[in-house]
């Protein structure tokens, strides 16, 4: 009886420790700006870029100790730059949002001292939502539907010239859209793109190669429903992140995590996360869900952990999106009471948010 009671006590303690919120370890930075930031790209070796409202672009070359305010692009002083994708400390492409010609792409090759306008949305009803770099020279832009089809553009020369993609399968339901909330509605699994959408159907579109017997291949898109909140304009898939994994049979598979919900109900936690173990073909709802709407998700391979953020907090998962638990500020680091909150976008270890908010996640403290 004593042994049974002891075992039950130890199990209860272990369960309690597993479900207790863990420290967030967010270190906040002084950015000298009040812009709302939604673009962030960690290049590595201490270099990262951020972007936001009122033509704001920031750059660090010392891992966030100093954030330099960049020159504003010509004609872009009042644009909202929701995305930045960089190659190094000199070269980056930024994306603004807005209807028609307000959706633009600029490029710098001199460390953001000067910018060149390289592309403007060709559709007067179009709207850019996400910018993704795949490899050193290929970039993609996804946009809201035009003529009932999601818009997709690509550059193969580092962003200097752009072309319209017309791959089959990007047909959009009526009133569907893409959320330009964190520049992570478009991601990639190796060379294959994945696109999260919202509105009447919270779907994930994925690129699928179609090859005939001769070996000739073409590219198309297929969509799959998720369990994430849908059916209203403010709800759907806001962010995707993906990684490769090897299953028990030794076969390579793609794990994809999706987060979102309804951004007008940030504290509603139902149906805010889902995961796929087959590269986005089929989806399962998370068993233990994040504790609110989430706008961004990312995977840290060094600690085998997924991080997701939103207006009301931060959550992590160590089992590929099946279960999430909250992170909280850590008093020993003198974290502010809201250090885990008010985040829009991720490029680990960085997160960005409103009022010039940039933070670094102390991922070393989250290691098992």
pLDDT value at position 4? 42
pTM to 2 decimal places: 0.91
pLDDT value at position 126? 97
Between 342 and 16, whose confidence is greater? 342
HEC secondary structure over 206-229: EEEEEECCCCCEEEEEEEEECCCC
Mean pLDDT value across residues 168-193: 95
- Which 3 state secondary structure label does DSSP give 8? helix
Pairing relationship of beta strands 198-199 and 192-196 according to DSSP bridges: unpaired
Mean pLDDT value across residues 226-233: 90
Of the pLDDT bands very low, low, confident and very high (cuts 50, 70, 90), residue 333 is confident
pLDDT value at position 362? 87
pLDDT value at position 23? 66
For 342, the token pair is: 């008010």
Give the angle subtended at the CA of 234 by the CAs of 168 and 322, to the nearest 5°: 80
Sign of the Cα pseudo-torsion (365, 38, 139, 199, in order): positive
Residue 208 has pLDDT above 70, yes or no: yes
Do 203 and 227 touch, CB atoms closer than 8 A? no
Q: What is the dihedral of CA 317, 196, 361, 247, to 10 degrees?
A: 40
Do 323 and 32 touch, CB atoms closer than 8 A? no
- Terminal-to-terminal C-alpha distance of the chain: 33
Q: What domains can be seen in the chain, in order of their start residue?
A: 35-166 (2.120.10.10), 184-368 (no CATH)
Mean pLDDT value across residues 65-76: 97
pLDDT digits 0-9 by tens, 83-109:
999 999 999 999 999 999 999 999 999
pLDDT digits 0-9 by tens, 31-48:
999 999 999 999 999 999
300 - beta bridge partners? Answer: 305
As a whole number of angstroms, the distance between CA 231 and CA 120 comes to 31
Residue 14 has pLDDT above 50, yes or no: no
């Amino acid at each position: 009886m004593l042994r049974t009671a002891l075992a039950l006590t130890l199990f209860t303690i272990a369960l309690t420790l597993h479900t207790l919120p863990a420290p967030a370890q967010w270190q906040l930075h002084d950015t000298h700006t009040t812009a709302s930031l939604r673009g962030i790209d960690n290049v590595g070796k201490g270099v990262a870029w951020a972007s936001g409202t009122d033509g704001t672009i920031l750059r660090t070359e010392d891992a966030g100790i100093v954030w330099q305010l960049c020159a504003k692009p010509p004609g872009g002083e009042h644009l909202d730059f929701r995305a930045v994708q960089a190659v190094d400390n000199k070269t980056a492409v930024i994306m603004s949002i807005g209807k028609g010609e307000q959706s633009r792409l600029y490029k710098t090759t001199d460390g953001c001292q000067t910018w060149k306008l390289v592309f403007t949305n060709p559709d007067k009803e179009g709207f850019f939502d996400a910018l993704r770099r795949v490899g050193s020279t290929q970039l993609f832009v996804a946009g809201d539907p035009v003529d009932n089809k999601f818009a997709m553009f690509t550059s193969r020369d580092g962003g200097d010239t752009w072309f319209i993609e017309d791959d089959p399968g990007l047909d959009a339901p009526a009133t569907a859209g893409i959320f330009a909330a964190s520049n992570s509605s478009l991601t990639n699994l190796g060379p294959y793109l994945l696109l999260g959408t919202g509105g009447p159907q919270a779907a994930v579109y994925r690129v699928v190669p179609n090859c005939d017997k001769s070996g000739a291949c073409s590219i198309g898109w297929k969509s799959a429903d998720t369990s994430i909140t849908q059916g209203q304009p403010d709800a759907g898939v806001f962010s995707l992140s993906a990684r490769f994994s090897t299953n028990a049979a030794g076969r390579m598979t793609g794990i994809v995590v999706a987060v979102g919900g309804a951004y007008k109900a940030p504290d509603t936690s139902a149906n805010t996360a889902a995961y796929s173990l087959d590269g986005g073909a089929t989806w399962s709802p998370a068993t233990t869900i994040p504790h609110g709407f989430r706008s961004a998700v990312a995977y840290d391979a060094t600690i085998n952990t997924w991080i997701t953020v939103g207006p009301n907090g931060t959550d992590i998962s160590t089992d590929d999106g099946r279960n999430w638990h909250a992170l909280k500020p850590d008093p020993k680091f003198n974290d502010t009471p809201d250090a885990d909150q008010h985040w829009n976008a991720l490029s680990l270890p960085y997160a960005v948010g409103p009022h010039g908010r940039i933070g670094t996640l102390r991922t070393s403290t989250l290691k098992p």
